Structure 1
Amino acid sequence: MVFYASQLGAVTALQGQHYPNVPHWNPGVMQHQQPLHTARSLDRALEDAVCSGILNVSGRKLRDYPGLNYDLTDTTQADLSKNRFGEIPPEVCMFAPLESLNLYHNCIKMIPEAIINLQMLTYLNISRNQLSVLPTFLFSLPLRVLVVSNNKLVSVPDDIGKAKDLMELDISCNEIQVLPAQMGRLFALRELNIRRNCLQVLPDELSDLPLIRLDFSCNKITEIPPSYRKLSHLQHIILDNNPIQSPPAQVCLKGKIHIFKYLNMQACRQDKKPDSLDLSTLVPHSW
């Protein structure tokens, strides 16, 4: 029987959960957003950024970097979301103290190598753009939160395993078919959102992570690996809209505790099966 777990009340994620000192993924939202913009208000925003180190030019239909006449090199937070940038402005890649960069909802097709200059960057939201590739040099940054949902990604590079500080990863709403085993090296990862991709298999290596929240809904997953019983920190598992066959429907409907009991039983059954049949133990020796 093919099961789509679409009514899992006990497996629903708790909304709005935050972790201390880590920005939670919330596309396009930063402080001090202004709904109405004029040329003068843009100048004022740039002047304020010089003094405060917080640049907010969200939602202004910008195609070009507006700060050429301002010294913004001390910027620590930059919100360029909801504009029409076709690339990450090279000037932004020179903001050495930058810790948070929001590029949500632009037209960006690639991440330039110059981004490696941002060695203080811990939060990057580049969701709802046109990325088809995540470059390997991206994972040399000290990122704690990476949001790249709603792009055109078909794969995740093996080098993601180098992102040792990563606590939240959102790669939902792409076209990813396989997750690399190297994701099992993300030993700081607490939240993983792989919703709405083309995944058929969950890698066993994820079972080694300290995940608190895992969302793999809207994929093509048929089985939760028995190794996932080791996800002892997991509080929220979202698995609806998958053709899950193991655990069966009636188990999934009962929620996380019953899912984990089932996985434990499956693991025990597998442990009891002989890995191979040694015929020498069955045939009497003749001397």
Structure 2
Amino acid sequence: MATLGPESARPPLGSSPLVQAHIGSANLPPNRGLERALEEAAASGVLNLSCRKLKEFPRTAANHDLSDTVEADLSKNRLTDVPSEVCHLVALETLNLYHNCIRSIPDSIISLQSLTSLNLSRNQLGSLPACLCGLPLRVLNASNNKLVSLPETIGQLQRLMELDISCNEITALPRHIGRLKALRELNVRRNLLCVLPEDLADLPLVKFDFSCNKVSTIPVCYRKMKQLQTLQLENNPLQSPPAQICIKGKVHIFKYLSIEACRMLPHGSST
């Protein structure tokens, strides 16, 4: 009669609580986590579908009432378009599409008339549609895309407070950007800008980052930016003010601009 060795004395596989729990979760339907997220969204108004390798909006979402969804997170998926289902969530206030493969924004996004925050960062966008400027946005992040320009209608975003278009291929800012009278933060870092619009001087900017561009001159009217607290301008071929002034910081830059403004005045005039 064979004796029981250590291997034979072990409990059957799956009898320990830890292994049983693992097997239990493995036996769940593969889309159960997705269904749970949809159920929670129907109850809470917050839809979290981040990091689920989605290539399209879940078809089973039609089985849930998502009409009161105010926040939707579809970041870090594999979407190539903005799902049409998202544009039907008319109560949305926050939409996060960060880190997908989206190449264009549909005109139907105009139906999201409660949307105040939109994150389009890290996608494949070559342009932004004009209709986007018909939304009540306060925050717009379109950084790390392939944008070469902004829509001329950008000035219609009268409530916009934060605009991040850093890490694109934009060569010039639209002339109507000076109409963004609520804008507090502007990030145009890592683009191909050679000229800064003078109209920006009239905006209540608190933070302004135009580092890593091709700007050689800061307009003298920028000395009027009284609310500006943070100014990032490194890695530009600046000549006016010269580099030795710029490295000393905002106070010295503004002093230089004020002196330049006086020099430009006709003899006998005052500022």
Q: TM-score, normalised by structure 1?
A: 0.81
> Partner residue of 1:184?
178
Q: 1:52 aligns with which of 44, 62, 67?
A: 44
The worse-fitting range, judged by mean Cα deviation, of 205-214 and 264-273 is 264-273
- Map of 2:159 onto structure 1: 165
Cα RMSD, aligned residues only: 1.5
Task: Find the counterpart in structure 2 of residue 19 from structure 1.
Answer: none
Structure 2 gaps of 5+ residues are 1-29
How far apart, in 2, do the equivalents of 1:101 and 1:233 lie? Answer: 29
Partner of 1:272: helix, strand, or coil?
coil
The letter for the 2-side match of 1:183 is I
Q: Give the structure 2 partner of residue 12 of structure 1.
A: none
Aligned to 2:91, the other structure's residue is in SS state coil
Distance 1:68 1:193 in 2: 38
Q: In the TM superposition, what is the alpha-carbon distance from 1:170 to its structure 2 partner?
A: 0.4
Residue 77 in structure 1 maps to residue 68 in structure 2 = no
User: Match of 1:155?
Assistant: 149
Please report how far the alpha carbon of residue 157 of structure 1 lies from its aligned counterpart in structure 2 after TM superposition. 1.5
* Matches for 1:26-105 after TM superposition, within 5 Å: 39-66=31-58, 67-105=61-99
Name the SS for the 1:197 alignment partner.
coil
Any gaps of 5 or more consecutive residues in structure 1? 1-37, 275-287
**1:123-157 deviation digits (Å, cap 9, x = unpaired):** 00011111111111110100000000011110111
Query: Deviation string for 1:103-132 (max 9, x for gaps)?
Result: 001111111111111000000001111111
Secondary structure of 1:243's partner? coil
Q: Deviations over 1:200-247 (max 9, x none)?
A: 010101101000000000000011110100110000000011111111
CA–CA distance in 2 between the matches of 1:273 and 1:89?
A: 62
- Identity, % of aligned pairs? 62
Residues 1:228 and 2:222 are matched in the alignment: yes
Structure 1 Cα separation of the partners of residues 74 and 188 of structure 2 = 25
* TM, length-normalised to structure 2: 0.86
Question: Which residue of structure 1 aligns with residue 204 of structure 2?
Answer: 210
* Aligned equivalent of 1:11: none
CA distance in 2, matches of 1:273, 1:58: 63
Aligned residue in 1 for 2:3: none
Aligned to 2:19: none
